[in-house]
Amino acid sequence: MSGHSYDTGRLNLPFVGISTFGKRPYVADWSAIRADVAVMGAPFDFGTQFRAGARFGPRAVRDASTLFSFGHAGAYDHEDDAIYLGPEVTMVDIGDADIVHTDTESSHANIETGVRAMLNAGALPVVIGGDHSVNIPCIRAFAGRGPIHILQIDAHLDFVDVRHGVRHGHGNPMRRAAEQDHVTGLTQLGIRNVSSTTKEGYDAARAMGADILSVRQVRALGVAGVLARIPAGARLYITIDIDGFCPSIAPGTGTPSHGGFLYYEVLEILQAAAKAHAVVGIDLVEVAPDYDHSGSTAILAAQVLLNLLGFIFHAKKIA
Amino acid sequence: MSGHSYDTGRLNLPFVGISTFGKRPYVADWSAIRADVAVMGAPFDFGTQFRAGARFGPRAVRDASTLFSFGHAGAYDHEDDAIYLGPEVTMVDIGDADIVHTDTESSHANIETGVRAMLNAGALPVVIGGDHSVNIPCIRAFAGRGPIHILQIDAHLDFVDVRHGVRHGHGNPMRRAAEQDHVTGLTQLGIRNVSSTTKEGYDAARAMGADILSVRQVRALGVAGVLARIPAGARLYITIDIDGFCPSIAPGTGTPSHGGFLYYEVLEILQAAAKAHAVVGIDLVEVAPDYDHSGSTAILAAQVLLNLLGFIFHAKKIA
Amino acid sequence: MSGHSYDTGRLNLPFVGISTFGKRPYVADWSAIRADVAVMGAPFDFGTQFRAGARFGPRAVRDASTLFSFGHAGAYDHEDDAIYLGPEVTMVDIGDADIVHTDTESSHANIETGVRAMLNAGALPVVIGGDHSVNIPCIRAFAGRGPIHILQIDAHLDFVDVRHGVRHGHGNPMRRAAEQDHVTGLTQLGIRNVSSTTKEGYDAARAMGADILSVRQVRALGVAGVLARIPAGARLYITIDIDGFCPSIAPGTGTPSHGGFLYYEVLEILQAAAKAHAVVGIDLVEVAPDYDHSGSTAILAAQVLLNLLGFIFHAKKIA
Amino acid sequence: MSGHSYDTGRLNLPFVGISTFGKRPYVADWSAIRADVAVMGAPFDFGTQFRAGARFGPRAVRDASTLFSFGHAGAYDHEDDAIYLGPEVTMVDIGDADIVHTDTESSHANIETGVRAMLNAGALPVVIGGDHSVNIPCIRAFAGRGPIHILQIDAHLDFVDVRHGVRHGHGNPMRRAAEQDHVTGLTQLGIRNVSSTTKEGYDAARAMGADILSVRQVRALGVAGVLARIPAGARLYITIDIDGFCPSIAPGTGTPSHGGFLYYEVLEILQAAAKAHAVVGIDLVEVAPDYDHSGSTAILAAQVLLNLLGFIFHAKKIA
Amino acid sequence: MSGHSYDTGRLNLPFVGISTFGKRPYVADWSAIRADVAVMGAPFDFGTQFRAGARFGPRAVRDASTLFSFGHAGAYDHEDDAIYLGPEVTMVDIGDADIVHTDTESSHANIETGVRAMLNAGALPVVIGGDHSVNIPCIRAFAGRGPIHILQIDAHLDFVDVRHGVRHGHGNPMRRAAEQDHVTGLTQLGIRNVSSTTKEGYDAARAMGADILSVRQVRALGVAGVLARIPAGARLYITIDIDGFCPSIAPGTGTPSHGGFLYYEVLEILQAAAKAHAVVGIDLVEVAPDYDHSGSTAILAAQVLLNLLGFIFHAKKIA
Amino acid sequence: MSGHSYDTGRLNLPFVGISTFGKRPYVADWSAIRADVAVMGAPFDFGTQFRAGARFGPRAVRDASTLFSFGHAGAYDHEDDAIYLGPEVTMVDIGDADIVHTDTESSHANIETGVRAMLNAGALPVVIGGDHSVNIPCIRAFAGRGPIHILQIDAHLDFVDVRHGVRHGHGNPMRRAAEQDHVTGLTQLGIRNVSSTTKEGYDAARAMGADILSVRQVRALGVAGVLARIPAGARLYITIDIDGFCPSIAPGTGTPSHGGFLYYEVLEILQAAAKAHAVVGIDLVEVAPDYDHSGSTAILAAQVLLNLLGFIFHAKKIA
C-alpha cells in the first residue's frame, strides 16, 4: 500500500470528510472535553417571529467551515503577517444540545447544560444557533463565574420584556441578559429600523446599562471610537446575530434588515475587542440556510467565527 | 370612464389580486361568519421534528389557490360533466389563528377558538397548517358536537403517546384524537416506512380503533375496498398530511417519505368518501414552501382542497 | 501539435459548446434553410394568465438538448434496437422569431414568418415556445398547404373564444385553430381539472371537431385505442404543452395541473402516431425555466422532441 | 373563553395573517377609499425586455411588508428618535388593477383608473409594479391636478421614444412622462451603464427637462447636493425602479445592473426629499420575485416604501 | 441537574447532531473498523460528462439519513411487521476517501484503499459517491475475494471502453468491471434512452456477460421474473446510480433520464435480491445536491440504503 | 412579407436569440477567425478544491451577456460620454475548448490550442472559465510572443507549487505563470483571508516577482496608487477570478471569500489599466452558475468583460 497519499497524510480538500466545525474532532462525552475552544450547536428556532429554519444553522455553518480547513499548520494572513489557529490552539466540536420540539424550557435547559460543560472544562464556549433566544441559556450558564459585559452585533435590540406571555423568544434575550446579576452592561451595535422592541424597550435598555449604536453611528465613531465605549477591563461575551450584517452578504436569516454592517466593519471591531479584552464566550445565531441559496451567509458565519477565534488566541499569545 | 373593463366586471387573472383562499372574501370578525365553508390558516410549526417552515403553508396555499380562481360561475369538470363550487356554495377566508412563538399551548388554544367559531357559524371548517400538531386543537373543537370518524392521508402514523414530555408535537395528533370521546375510529391511509411511531404505537393505535393501510395496501384494495372499511354513516373529519403524497408531487414538506400516493389515488378516495359520508371538517397540513421551489406542493394542496370541497357540495346538491 | 484530440475530432461532451438545439448548426439566414428539420424558438409569454417566464423556454430547451448530444452517428435505443437521428437526418437551428414587447400582434406575425420560412424550405418545422399562444401563428402559417389534424397534449383545453377582448392569449389557441379552414379536426389529450375554458367552451370544441380525452380516459383506452380515434391518413400537427405532463416531471411551467401524463404514456402515443401518420409540424410550449430548478422540465422537453423526431424519420426510413 | 390571547388583542406575528400591504385593511370598493395612503398593485410585466415575472411583485412586496407589521402604535426609530406611521396615519390596500393578458392598452387603462380613484379619494397613491411601464398610466392619472416633478431612482434612463412601434414598454416611461404638460421636470438618479436608451435618448431627455446623475455623481454631490438640484417647491412624484439599487441587495429584478445604490444612499435622499417637498405620488417597480430567492429584494422594497411613507407623514406632522 | 432530558438519554431529533450516516459512530482509524456495516464517502466527480457536483453527494446523503434516525431500537415497518436495523446490527461511518483534484488515478486509488480496509475488517462496505466512476476502484478492491455478480440500477449502460483516452470516467465502470476476473456477470436494470454507450457497447456488454433490461422490460417481467435471471447462488455487488430512478423522485443528479424506476419498483427488487442472495458490497452514486433543491433525491438515497441494509441483515437473521 | 419588423431589421431583445457572447457571430473554424476580439469558453472544473460547477460558467456568462446586447451601434455611457464597442470593433465567439473528463492534461492542451488560434489570428483572446487552472494553458500559449505582466483580480494568491502531486489545479496557476520566461511580473489584487497558499507560498511569490495587495490595501492606495505599481510599458494579461469580488455581488462561485471588491473598485482599475497599458489577453474564471440563483454573478462577469473590452478599444481609438 506504500506510495499512495495516505503515507504522508491526506490532502483533505474542503469537500472531503465529515462536517464537524473546522473539521475538528467530535467529542460526544461532555465530561471529557479537553480543548482551548469547544463548539456546540443549539438548533432551536421556535423563538422566531418571521421565518424559521435556524435549526439547520449549526449544520450549515459546520459545512461552510470546511472551506477554511486548508492549512493544518494554521491559517496565514498576509495583511497581518500572522498565522492564526496554529496547532497550539486546540478545538473540539461537542455536537448539539438536545432540542425538544414544542418545549422551549427543556430545549433551553439542555443548551445551558452544554455551555456549563464547556465552561467546566475550561474551554472557550462557542455556540452556533439556532435563533437568538439560545443566547438566554448561554448567558445563564455564566452565572457565578464572574461579571461579563455583552458585545452584541445585531439589527435588532432584542429587548422585549414580556408580550403575550413570551419571555424567551428571539426578541427577548438582551432583556433577559440585562436582568442577570453577572451581566454588567451591554454594547449593542448595528441596531436599526423597525423591530419588535418599542420605544419603551429602548428606554428600558438604556436604563439597564445598554449602549445602543446604529450602523451609521458605528461608522461615524470608527473602530477606536466604538472600542472606547466598552468599559476597560470588561470580560466580553460576544453575541453575533447574523442579521447585524447587511442582507447583501447575509441573506440567509429569518428577519433580514437592510442597511447592516459590511464584512470588515465587524471584523475590525472584533479584532480590536479581542486585543483589548478577554473574550469569555461567543454565540453566533440566526443563520437560516433555507434562505441562503448560495451559501454566502453560512460562509460568512464560519469566516467570522474562525477569524474571531484566531484573533483571540493570537492576542493571548502576544500578551 | 365608460368603456374600460370594469364596466362588465374584471378579468381577474390568477396573478391579480389579494391572496385569500380561492380569492374568496376575507372575514376578520369571527363572530360574523356567514358561509357554507370557512377557511382558516394555522401557521404553527414548533411541532416539527425535522424541517420547519410549515408556518408559511397558509400563505403558500392561498397564493396557489388563485391559480384556480377562473370561472366565477364555478369550475367545469369535463370528466364528471359537473360544475363544482358554483355560486350556490359560499366560502370565506377568516385569516389565521394567532400564533405565539415559544408557546405551544396558547397557539393551539387560538386554533381551537377559530375552529369553534367556524362550527358555531354553521360553516364547514377548513384549516390549513402548519404542522400536523394543529390537528390536535381542531379535533378538540369538535367535542360535544357528535361523534366523528377520522380519515387520515399521511405517510406517518402520528401515534406517539408521550416522549421526553412531548404530547402535542406533530408525531402525536392521532393518539390525542383517539383519546377523545367523540372520536369513534380512525382510517389511516398511506402509512409507510420508518417514523417516530414505534411498533408499540402501531399496536396501541389498532387497540384504540385505528385501521392502518399502507400505500400498497390501498392500491391492492382499490377505492371501493378502502371505502368499505369506513363504518357506514360515519361523519368524517378528513386530515390530509401533504406528505401522504409521493415526494414527486409534494416535495415541499418537512418530512418527505418516498413511495406515497399519486394524485388520482387520493382524489378518488376523497370523491368516494364525499359521496358516501357527511364530511364535517377538514385540515390539510405540512406544506413547507421553503422546500417547494416550483410551487407544485402548494398547488397540489389547493387543487385537492378545492376539488374535495367541490365533491362535498356536489354530493349534497345531488342528495 | 499532432496527437491531441482535435486530430480525430472532438469529444464534445454535453457541457461543452454553444447551445443550439441538439448542437446542430445555426442558420441565421432564413432564406437559406437546407435541412430535414428546422428548429425555431418563439420566446413570447405575454399570453400567460398565471406565471410568466416561458420566454426563456427556447434557451432552456436548447441547453438541455446538449445532454443528448452524444453519439454523432445517431442515438442507439436498445429497446427498439434502432439508431435514431443518424447522419441521414439533417437538422438546423434557425434561432428565434423576433419578439416585440407589449405587442402581441407583431410578435405573432414574426413567428408566422419563421414557420413559413421553414415550410418554404421543405423542412419539418419545430417551434419551441414561449406560451401556448405561439401555436396561433404556427397554425396560420400552414394555411394553403393542405389540411391538417391537430394532436394536442395538454392539461387545458385552450378553447376560449374571446374574453375581455382577448383572442390571442394562451387560453385561445385551439379555438383559433379550429376556426381555420385547413384544420380538419383536433385530438386533445390530457385535458383535466379547472381551466379558463368553461362548459360552453367544451361544447363549442366538440361542435367544431374536437375529440377530448382526459388522462384517465387515455389510460383506459390505451395507445391503440387513442390512435384509433385519429382519422386515418390525417396529416398531423403535434402541439405539446408541457403541462400536459404530470408536475412531478414537468414542474417548470406556468400553470401546472396535477394528474398529468407520465413519460412513457406520451412517448408511446407519439411513437405510434409517427408510425401511422405523416407529421407535418410540431410545437412544444410553456417550459418556464424559472420554476424548473433541477432542469427536469427542460430535459423532458428536449428528450421528447428528440425522440419524436427520431420516430418520425425512422418511420419514413422504414416506409 | 376568557384568558386566552384574544381578550387583549392578537400578538399578530409577521408570519400570521392575510398579506395585504402592511397588514392594512383591504378596500375592494374603489369608490369607498378613506385613508391618508392607498396602496395598489399593478401586476403588469409585458413591457419587460429581458426577464419577466414582475407581475408577482405586488404579492411579494405585500408578503415582505408583513415583516414590518410589529408595533401597532407605530414604528420607533432610535436614530431619529421618532415614531413613524403611528395610528394617526391611515392606510388601506385597494388590491390590484385588473390586467388583461396580451393587451397593454387595457391593462394600462385599468391602472390609470385605480390611481385616479385614489387621487379622487384624497389619498396618497402608492403603486407597486409590475414593470416600469406601469408608471405611464400613473403619470397620466395626474393630468389636470397640478404640476409635478418626477424624482426617479433607477439604473436606466427609460427614455426611448418609439422603437419597432413600442411606445409603452418599460424602456419608455420617462419619455412618456416628459411629454405630459403637467410634468415640469425630472431628476433621474442612479443612471448607469448600457441600457436600451441611446445617446440620442440622453440628449432628448436633457432637452426635455431631465437632470441625469449616475450613482458616482450622486455620491460626489452628497444628499444635500442632490436635493439642491430639485426645484424648490416642486411637488414630487417619486418613481423607484428597484434596479436603481445594487444587485447585492436587489437581485430580484429583471434587468439588474451592477454598481447601484446602497440602502442608506437612497433612504437619505428620500428622507430629505420628503422634508423639503410635498410628495404627491409614489410607485415602486420591477421587483421580480422569481429571481429573489432569499426575499431580500421584496424586503428592501417594503422597507423603503414604509420608511418613505413614514418620512412623508412625519414631515407633515412637524410642519 | 437531575430531571432534564439527559438523565434518560437524548430525544435526538433528526435535525440535531453531527451528520454521520444514520448518526452512527465515526471511525477515523481505518485499521480499527469493528462493525457489520461500514459506510464511506467517495466524493469524486471529475468523471462526469454533464453536470458536476456529485462530490457533495456523501454530505447530502448523510444529512438526509438523519431523517431516519428515529427509533434507536430499530425501525419498525408495519407492512412487513418487522424491525429493521435493530441494535444487533452495528454500523460505522469511516468518513471519506481522500480525493486529489485533477488526479483521477490517485483519487481512485484512495477509494480502493478504503474499500479494502472495510473488507479486511469483515464489514459490509457501503460507498456513497461521487460519480459512477467510483465504482471502478470499489470493484477492484474485491479482487482475490471470490467471484461477484453485479446488480446495477441505472439509466445508462456505462459500458464505454475507451474514448479520447478516457477509461475511468462515469461512462466506463461496467466495462471495467466486466473485464475483471472476479466479476462473473452483470444484471443491468433500468437502462434506457440515449447515452454515451453506442450500439457496439451494448453488443460488447452482452458478449461479456451482461443481462440488460429497460424499465419497461423490468415492469413486464415483474420482481420474480427479474430475480429469476440472476444466477442462483451469486454473491451480489449492488451498484445503484440514482439516475436509475425517475427524475420525478431523483432530480438531483447530473444526467437525469426520464422514464426511470419508481420507488417500490427498485425497493422490491432489492428486498427480493437480499433474500435470495448474499450481498457483499454496495455503492450508491450520482447524487448531486446542487440540483436537489427540495432534498428529495438525497432522502431517496438514504431511504433506499437504509432499507436495503435492513433487508440484508433481516434476511441473515431469519436464515 | 413587407410591413413586418424584419424589413427594418430585428428588435432583437435580450431574451431573443442564440446565446453566443454578446450575440456576436459564432466561428466554428478556428483557422478562420477574423476579428479584433475572440471569445472562447474553457469549461474545465476538475481543478476545484471546494464546489465544482464552473464548467457551466461559459454558458452562463454568454446568456448574461445578452442583457447587454442593446444598441447595435455601440453602448453609450453617459458618465464617460463615450460610445463603447461600436461597429468598428469586431468580435466573434469561437465556442469552447474541448474538455476531456478525468483528463486534466488533454483538457488544458485543448485550451492552449484555442488561445494559440486566437493569437495567430491577431485577435485579442478572451477566455471564460472554468476554474482558475484554465489560466495555466492560457499563459503557456503566450510563450514566444513577447513578455507579459499579469494583472490578477482574485481573493486567493493561487501560488501553490505542488502538493500531493497536484501542479495544475486552481490553486497553482500564478506559480505556474511566474515560472514562465515570458512572464515578467505579477500584480495580485484582492488577496485576502485563508487560502490554500501558505506563508511559504507568499514568500515565494514575492521572490518570483509578485506584488500582493489586499482589498483594504488597494482601497488605501486608490486607483492611481495601484496603477503606479505596475511597471510602465508592461503588456498586460488580465486574469479575473470572480471571487475577487465581494460575495454580495458574486455569490455564484466555488470558493467565495467575504470582504472582496465592489464593482467600481475593479472597474476603475481596469479602465485605468486599459488606458495606460496594452492589454494582450484576458481570462475571467470561476463563475459557477449553480450557486448563482439570481444570475447576478454571471451578469457581473458579462458586464465587467464588456466594459473592459470597451475601455481597451476606446483607448486604442483615442491613442
Give the pLDDT of residue D194: 73
Gap from B56 CA to chain A (nearest CA, Å): 8
Dihedral sign (CA C158, C159, C162, C167):
positive
Residue D10's closest CA among A21, E137, B114? B114
CA separation for the pair B136, B174 (Å, rounded):
8
Reported as a single tens digit per residue, the pLDDT across C216-267 is 999 999 999 999 999 999 999 999 999 999 999 999 999 999 999 999 999 9
Is the model's pLDDT at D31 over the cut of 70?
yes
Smallest CA–CA distance, residue C30 to chain B, in Å, is: 36
CB contacts of B5 in chain C (<8 Å) are 164
A78 vs F212: CB contact, 8 Å cut-off? Answer: yes
Residue E67, amino acid: L
> Is the confidence at residue C1, as pLDDT, over 50?
no
Reading the block at residue B229, the C-alpha cell is 372499511
The amino acid at residue B135 is N
Cβ separation D299–A256 shorter than 8 A: yes
Of chain C residues 73-102, which have a CB less than 8 A from chain E? 73, 75-79, 83
Per-residue pLDDT, F73? 63
Specify whether the CB–CB gap between B77 and A139 falls below 8 A: no
pLDDT at residue C73 in the model: 63
Number of Cβ within a 10 Å radius of residue B223: 17
Contact F163, F195 (CB under 8 A): no
Residues of chain D with Cβ-Cβ distance to A258 below 8 Å are 249, 263, 296, 299-300, 303
Q: Do F303 and D212 touch (CB under 8 A)?
A: no
- Output the pLDDT for position E72: 56
Asked if E100 lies within 8 A of F53 by C-beta distance, the reply is no
Interface with chain D: mutation pick from C99, C100, C101, C133, highest number of D CBs within 10 Å: C101
Annotated binding-site ranges of D for Mn(2+): 132, 154, 156, 158, 241, 243
CB interface of F with C, residues 106-135, below 8 Å: 106, 109-110, 113
Q: Is D187 in the B-facing interface, judged by CB distances under 8 Å?
A: no
Question: Which chain B residues touch A45 with a CB distance below 8 Å?
Answer: 52
**Segment D80-106, tens digit of pLDDT:** 999 999 999 999 999 999 999 999 999
Residue of B4, B12, B18, B116 for testing the chain D interface, max D β-carbons within 10 Å: B18
Contact A56 E15 (CB under 8 A): yes
Q: Which of B71, B248, B267 sits opposite C248 (nearest CB)?
A: B248
Within 188-207 of B, beta carbons closer than 8 Å to E belong to 191-199, 202
- Which chains have at least 3 CB atom pairs separated by less than 8 Å from chain D? A, B, C, F
Task: Indicate the residue of C192, C193, C256 with minimum beta-carbon distance to B296.
Answer: C256
- All residues of chain B having their beta carbon less than 8 Å from the beta carbon of residue A55 are 52
Q: What is the pLDDT of residue B8?
A: 54
- What is the distance between the alpha carbons of residues B222 and B211, in angstroms, rounded to a whole number? 15
Question: Mean pLDDT score of chain B, rounded to an integer?
Answer: 94
Establish if B292 touches chain E: CB-CB under 8 angstroms.
yes
pLDDT tens-digit series, residues A219-265: 999 999 999 999 999 999 999 999 999 999 999 999 999 999 999 99
pLDDT at F72 over 70: no
Confidence at residue A243, expressed as pLDDT on a 0 to 100 scale: 98
Mean of pLDDT values over D58-81: 88
First to last CA, chain A: 47
pLDDT more than 90, % of chain B: 91
Over range A184-198, report the average pLDDT: 90
pLDDT surpasses 70 at A177: yes
* pLDDT the model gives residue C194: 73
Q: What pLDDT, in 10s, does the model give residues D202-239?
A: 999 999 999 999 999 999 999 999 999 999 999 999 99
For residue C306, what is its C-alpha cell?
428528440
Distance from the A217 Cα atom to the nearest Cα atom in chain D, whole angstroms: 8
Of the partner residues C6, C19, C110, the one whose CB lies closest to the CB of residue F19:
C19
Cα(D47)–Cα(F16) distance, integer angstroms: 15
Reported as a pLDDT band with limits 50, 70 and 90, residue B2 is very low
Contacts of F113 in chain C (CB under 8 A): 1, 4, 6
Name subunits touching A (3+ CB pairs < 8 A).
Answer: B, D, E, F
SS3 string of chain E? CCCCCCECECCCCCCCCCCCHHHCCECCCCCCCCCCEEEEEECCCCCCCCCCCHHHHHHHHHHHHHHHCCCCCCEEECCCCEEECCCCCCEEEEEECCCCCCCHHHHHHHHHHHHHHHHHCCCEEEEEECCHHHHHHHHHHCCCCCCEEEEEECCCCCCCCCECCECCCCCCHHHHHHCCCCEEEEEEECCCCCCCCCHHHHHHHHHCCEEEECHHHHHHHHHHHHHCCCCCCCEEEEEEEHHHECCCCCCCCCCCCCCCECHHHHHHHHHHHHHHCEEEEEEEECCCHHHCCCCHHHHHHHHHHHHHHHHHHHHHHHC
Chain B: residue nearest A108 by CA? B102
Q: What is the pLDDT of residue D3?
A: 37
Question: Nearest-5° angle of CA B64, CA B69, CA B72?
Answer: 165
Nearest-by-CA chain E residue for B255: E67
Nearest to A303 among F202, F248, F258 (CB): F258
Domains of chain D as residue ranges with CATH: 5-318 (3.40.800.10)
Helix count (H) and strand count (E) of chain F? Answer: 8, 10
CB atoms within 10 A of CB D228: 11
Is F247 within 8 Å of chain A by CB?
yes
Element (H, E) at D189: strand D183-189
- Give the span between the Cα atoms of B45 and A45, in whole angstroms: 10
Residue from the list E11, E294, E300 with its beta carbon closest to the beta carbon of B258: E300
Instruction: Sort out which chain F residues have CB atoms less than 8 A from E45's CB and list them.
Output: 52
Using one digit for the tens of pLDDT, what is the confidence trace for A200-226? 999 999 999 999 999 999 999 999 999
Read off the C-alpha cell for F27.
Answer: 466561428
Residue E99 contacts residue E57 (beta carbons within 8 Å)? no
Residue F3 binned pLDDT confidence (cut-offs 50, 70, 90): very low
Long-range contacts of E8-12 (CB under 8 A, 24+ apart): E8/B164, E10/A98, E11/A98, E11/A99, E11/A100, E11/B163, E11/B164, E11/B166, E12/A98, E12/E69, E12/E72
Cell of F110: 485543448
Mutate to test the interface with B, among A48, A59, A100, A102 (most CBs of B within 10 A): A102
User: How much is the pLDDT for C74?
Assistant: 79
F144-161 mean pLDDT:
97
Nearest CB to C47 within list D56, D101, D291: D101
- What is the overall mean pLDDT for chain E? 94
Mean pLDDT, range B286-310, rounded to an integer: 97
E132-153: pLDDT as tens digits: 999 999 999 999 999 999 999 9
**Position A5 pLDDT exceeds 60:** no
**Over 80: is that where the pLDDT of C17 sits?**
yes
Angle separating helix axes C296-318 and C57-65, nearest 10 degrees? 70
For chain E, residues with pLDDT lower than 50 are 1-7
Which chains touch B (3+ CB pairs under 8 A)? A, C, D, E
DSSP per-residue codes, A35-99: SSEEEEEE---TT-SS---GGGHHHHHHHHHGGG---TT-EEETTTTEEES-TTS-EEEEEE---
